[in-house]
Every structure is written in structure tokens, then in C-alpha cells.
Amino acid sequence: MSENTAENTAENTAENTAENISTSHQVSGNSDSTERLWDMLPASLPDRSESAEVIDTELATLPAMKSMYLKALKRRPGLHRGESIPPLQVESVLSIDSPWLKRYLKVCGWAESAERIDDPPLPITAPQTLAAPLHMYLLTHPLFPASTLGVVHAANQMIATRHLDLSAPLRLRGWIGETRWKARGFEVDLHTAVMSHGEDSPSWLGKTTVFRSVKEREERPRAASVEDPIIEGERSDLNLPADLGRRFAPIAGDYNPIHLYPLTARLFGFKRPIIHGMWTIAHLLQRGYPHAEEAQLGRMSVLFRRPLSLPLNSNALLMSTNNGRLLQALDHRGKLAVSAAFCPLDEGPMATSTPVSPTTS
């Protein structure tokens, strides 16, 4: 989202985000670019808030995304340099039915897997998409001091160690992690843990890093620009229709105006609508693993550099290694937009969750 209406402002903000996020996510150089992309894969992720002052909330059901968009417009006091976002944590339940999963698989490119009559596969990217209402609840919570407008999706990490039991409602836990100040604003992690019914140990763990720019009186030096390492992999066409955002919106429950029409996107600073980041990473994964059954368990890491405008005629890149697949999407100018790495469960050392006590500081 963006609170600026100048046509280039939001796109420039999204493009400049990568230089502000943690150096642990930054990828530079060409000779060792593939190694650096693999280094982005998470070794472990926490399964609950590490803060001793965590503020817990229990929700009977996940809130509707549409109901929270009005909350996003509410003025907030803002966050000042050095301040931190309160350690909010929320739990709820989620049911994944077969019709939804089949629609998700089909729109992301796994049409053949979507045709399975019983027990369609759940790619590692699907729980991240379904966790969006939980994240939006945290971002629009009364104790979240910064406006949701202007928040930019910067990176993702995911670990899936076991198949989720979709025959009963799943248990979701989401929480806000550490606030890290950068030259032009702050970044914060939105964590997620997904448990099968009756289980305490998560089968799926995720971390979403978002960046929020902050205007300050004194201009701070920016981090050195990072060269975009485009992999030397198999190149294929990436042609996306103008209505793709409108097709994915009801599946993701994300009707953010920047994804829908040129007119609504321009209201928030984009010349054209941009596709959802969660569709992009799922589709890239589909290109590396055409059968969704192969993309269920493992580790995945994603770095967003630039938005993908619709319609799009560009390229995607794929590199296969002994560990898995490296995947990239280029924007309409041929510049790197998204990088992703996926290591299946049976093709490399498996990461695990990092259990933490709610009273650990």
C-alpha cells in the first residue's frame, strides 16, 4: 500500500525497499549469487513470540480482509526512530476446504494437481496466503502505532516439516517480532505458526518481513546499492493478463486496490495494478515444481525487489541444483523483481522450528 498519490512514488518506494532491509537478506555479486540465494533459506524459525511482555489475543474466527481495510485508513501516531512496535500475538482457527485449494492450485498454475478428486496437495506457499488476515489484524491493531498505508512486502521465509491434516480446523498463531530501524524507516517481522488439530508442535512456520518508510527531518545515509544478481538459468516467458489480480483477489481474500484496476492502482501511486506477491512466489514455485505434490514440504525463502505490473510480458528464470531450485521473475524492463529458493524435504538438510517459551525475553 502507499499513502502517496504521485504516480511514481509508490513504485519507487517498492523498488528502493531492498536496500533498507537486513543485510542477511541482501544478495549481491554474480559469481557467488547462487550461494547467496541459498544462504537466504531459514535454518530455523520460532514457533511463538519470544517477548516476555507479549500481548495475547484469541479470535474465534479469522477476520475478513475487507473489514480491516477501513481500519487501515485510520490515522495513527506513527513510530519514531528508536521506538518499537508492541509484541502483539494472536491465535485463531482456519479450515481449508478442497474447493478453495483447487481454485488456488489452478490460478497459480498447478492445474493438473487441482484436478485430483480427493486430497489435493497443499504447496508450502498456501498457508502463507491464508495467514494474510492474521497479519492484517496485527497491522491494523489499535496498539500498532504506524499506518498500514505505505507498508511494503520485502521478504518471506517458510518451513514445512509435516503434512497438515486438512480434515479438521487448523490452529494459527501470528505475532509481531523485533523492530529494526534502517536508514529510511523500519522493518518488522510478522511470524506465523500453523498446527494441525490437536497438535502443539507446528507443521508449518513462516516469517514475513515488511518495511515502512518514515519521514525524518534529518536525511540519513542510505545503504550502498546492491547489484541485482540475475541467475544464469533456464529462461521462459512470463506473460500475465491484466485481470490476474482480480482473479487471485477472491482466493487470497486480498482486495487491495493496487491489485485490481489501473484507476484504483493510480489512487495509491502505481501506474498500473500489480500482482499479489503471494501469487508470484507460488507461480515461480510451480515453474520449478510442475506437480504440487513435490512442493509441499521443505524450506523456502523469497526476496522482493520490485513489483510486477499488469499486464506483463517478461521472463522467469529457473536454475536446478542438487539442493533444489532457484527461481526469479523479471519486471517489464528486464530488472529483477523477485528471487526465491526452495529446498524440498528430501533434497537437503531439513530446518526445524525453534521452540521458545512465552516468558523468554
Residue 259: the pLDDT is 94
Largest CA distance in the chain: 60
Radius of gyration in angstroms for the set of CA atoms belonging to the chain, rounded to a whole number = 19
Reading the block at residue 214, the C-alpha cell is 518514515
- Tell me: the pLDDT tens digits for 59-116? 988 888 777 877 776 777 778 888 889 999 999 999 999 999 999 999 999 998 888 7
Secondary structure, 3-state, 38-97: HHCCCCEEECCCCCCCCEEEECCCCCCHHHHHHHHCCCCCCCCCCCCCCCEEEEEEECCC
CA quadruple 48, 71, 185, 307: dihedral positive or negative? positive
Of the candidates 245, 243, 247, the residue with the CA atom closest to the CA atom of residue 258: 245
CA 155 – CA 277 distance, rounded (Å): 10
Indicate the pTM of the whole model.
0.85
Q: If one looks up domain 9-67+84-354 in CATH, what number appears?
A: 3.10.129.10
Domains in the chain: boundaries: 9-67+84-354
Mean pLDDT by 10 residues, the chain (361 residues): 38 50 40 67 91 85 79 75 90 93 96 81 96 91 81 93 94 94 90 94 95 72 66 94 96 91 91 96 97 95 95 96 92 95 72 41 29
Residue 11: the pLDDT is 55
Residue 323: the pLDDT is 84
Residue 151: the pLDDT is 83
235-273 b/e (C-beta count within 10 Å ≥ 16 → b): eeebebeeebbeebbebbbbebbbbbbeebbbebbbebb
CA 131 – CA 205 distance, rounded (Å): 11
- Tell me: the pLDDT tens digits for 195-223? 999 999 999 999 999 998 887 666 656 66
Residue 27: the pLDDT is 38
Contact 111, 283 (CB under 8 A): no
Residue 127: the pLDDT is 96
CA 41 – CA 302 distance, rounded (Å): 8
To the nearest 10 degrees (0 to 180), the angle between helices 244-252 and 98-108 is 150
Contact 147, 287 (CB under 8 A): no
